[in-house]
Structure 1
Amino acid sequence: MGQLDGKIALVTGGTSGIGLATAHRFAAEGAHVFITGRDQQRLDNAVKEVGNATGVRSDVSDLADLDRLALAIREHGTGLDAVFVNAGIGEFATLDSVGWQDYQKTFNTNVGGVIFTVQKVLPLLNPGAAIVLTGSSSAGNGQPSFGLYAASKAAIRSLGRTWAGELVGRGIRVNTIVPGPTETPGLGGLVPDNPQALFQQLATGIPMGRIGRPEEIANAALFLVSDQSSFMTGSEIFVDGGAEQI
């Protein structure tokens, strides 16, 4: 028996990287997984890969898209047991170069998208459901040129704590997973001409001597939505090779 047999899960930003790996992991443990993404072709490919899944094209910064997502889950008829709020973006921009549109794009997706994704699916959550937010180890350090992204992820930690307190009476747990640098298309896209050079540079700052794999983050996400973490809420789990711990 799988750890999520008969459960319904949602993974936002599930067409690549950590999101796709997590959708695979949840489905392998018996869940039917709703996957969101902005690109229909990539979404279709992800659903085909994962198997026991439903794709809903959705931009988390678009409230109308989130309404459509909630409707699709409601029409499925069995509510939600696990939510992995993963969709996010990041770009390099120094303080003197960042523009208002950069701010809006990052915060509308990474903060607003998280807030309103959870708000829209809140009525659909079954008793005992678990929500996992995706933070970032960047929120705890001062990496130059990554201030907007880091600030948006720092907000996630605060939201996770607040919501854990608000929802504990409903038996809903809220925890935050904090990945370190992970080999994903999103991270590599920050330096599209030479992503491997970026990965190697980031690995030098990690005690384990390498960056993470999406599957390793997915394993932690599974733990946080499963009964294995039944006495955890409002917590933060770092999956970062020791970067923020040693």
Structure 2
Amino acid sequence: MSMFSGKTVMITGGTRGIGLAGAQHILAQGGRVIASGRRNESLSPTDDCVVVLGDVGDPVNVQVLAAAAERAGGLDGLWLNAGFARVGALEAMTAECFDALMATNVRAPALQLARLAPLLKPGASVVVTASSSAFEAAPLVSAYAATKGALLSMVRCWAASLAPRGIRVNAIVPGPIDTGFRGFMGEAAQVQFERAVVEQVPLGRAGSAHEAAAVALFLLSAQASYVTGSQYAVDGGLVMR
């Protein structure tokens, strides 16, 4: 029997990149998915696949997600995956950029879990997508790195808070993953940036969305039933250097 057969999993940022890869795997394994995103690239809405379009940075969006979870009869898994990055010199930081990063990458998952926690079934699993940027000390991503460091701190607190209900909370820490996540930089700048990062990866390459999603799916599944408050690097060895 598939490890997601009969299970309902919500994935924010589930319509593209790592989240989309995870959604596709869960559906293929007999599970039900509620995927949220700004736009839908390739998920076809069905009885087993609900797509919720919207901006997770808008506090109203969490009520839409909660309504979808209630209609599904609760959640067996919740993957807080949505986020975005901006790069720039320290001196170029603006209040608008900082607030936007915090709203989407920190406030949104915190409010989502606060609202959705009562809808998590006993023994459910929560996975949070952080980033190796929290450990890299890269000069151009200080605010983004701060948001992901904040997530890692909250994961441990959330794990302690939900443990009495048998609910596990863990984080994945992706490194350079080939998803087009840095497309906002422009093609030339993106190639240069990613080449510089990949040169530091012991395995010598970027990872795929499916490789990163596989670790999240492990944590969402019953196979990780004794794992909570942990963070799993999916970075080709980048942060061990």
Aligned residue in 1 for 2:117: 122
The separation in 1 between residues aligned to 2:140 and 2:194, in whole angstroms, is 17
8 Å CA contact retained: 1:12, 1:84 = yes
Question: Are residues 1:55 and 2:63 paired?
Answer: no
Which residue of 78, 86, 98 corresponds with 1:83? 78
Q: In the superposition, relative to structure 1, how do residues 141 and 197 fare at CA in structure 2: closer, same or farther (>3 Å)?
A: closer
Q: Secondary structure at the match of 1:108?
A: helix
Distance of 1:152 and 1:191 partners within structure 2: 23
Deviation at 1:27, TM superposition (A): 1.5
AA aligned to 2:62 is L
- Percent identity, aligned pairs only? 38
SS at match of 1:177: strand
- Residue aligned with 1:84, SS: strand
Cα deviation, 1:77-128, whole Å, max 9, x if unaligned, reads x210011100001011222110000111000000001101111211110000
> 1:236 maps to which residue?
231
Gapped runs of 5+ residues in structure 2? Answer: none
Alpha-carbon distance in structure 2 between the residues aligned to 1:91 and 1:98: 10
- The Cα shift of 1:28 comes to 1.9
Question: Residue 93 and residue 198 in structure 1: after superposition, are their counterparts in 2 closer, same or farther (change >3 A)?
Answer: closer
Match of 2:136 in 1: 141
How far does residue 196 in structure 1 lie from its aligned partner after superposition?
A: 3.7
Offset of 1:189 from its aligned partner? 3.0
Counterpart-to-counterpart distance in 2, 1:158 and 1:56: 28
Size of the aligned set, in residue pairs, is 241
Matched, 1:100 2:95: yes
Whole-Å separation in 1 of the counterparts to 2:71 and 2:19: 23
Counterpart contact for 1:16–1:185, Cα < 8 Å: no
Task: Measure, in 2, the Cα distance between the counterparts of 1:213 and 1:194.
Answer: 20
Alignment of 1:1-246 (within 5 A): 1-39=1-39, 43=40, 45-48=41-44, 52-76=48-72, 78-193=73-188, 195-246=190-241
CA shift at 1:201, angstroms? 2.8
- Aligned residues: CA RMSD: 1.6
- Distance (whole Å) between structure 1 residues aligned to residue 45 and residue 71 of structure 2: 23
Per-residue deviation, residues 22-48 of structure 1 (Å, max 9, x unmatched): 111222222100000113xxx2x4322
Can you list the C-alpha shifts for 1:169-189, whole angstroms capped at 9, x where unaligned? 011000010001111121233
TM-score (norm 1): 0.93
Q: TM-score, normalised by structure 2?
A: 0.95
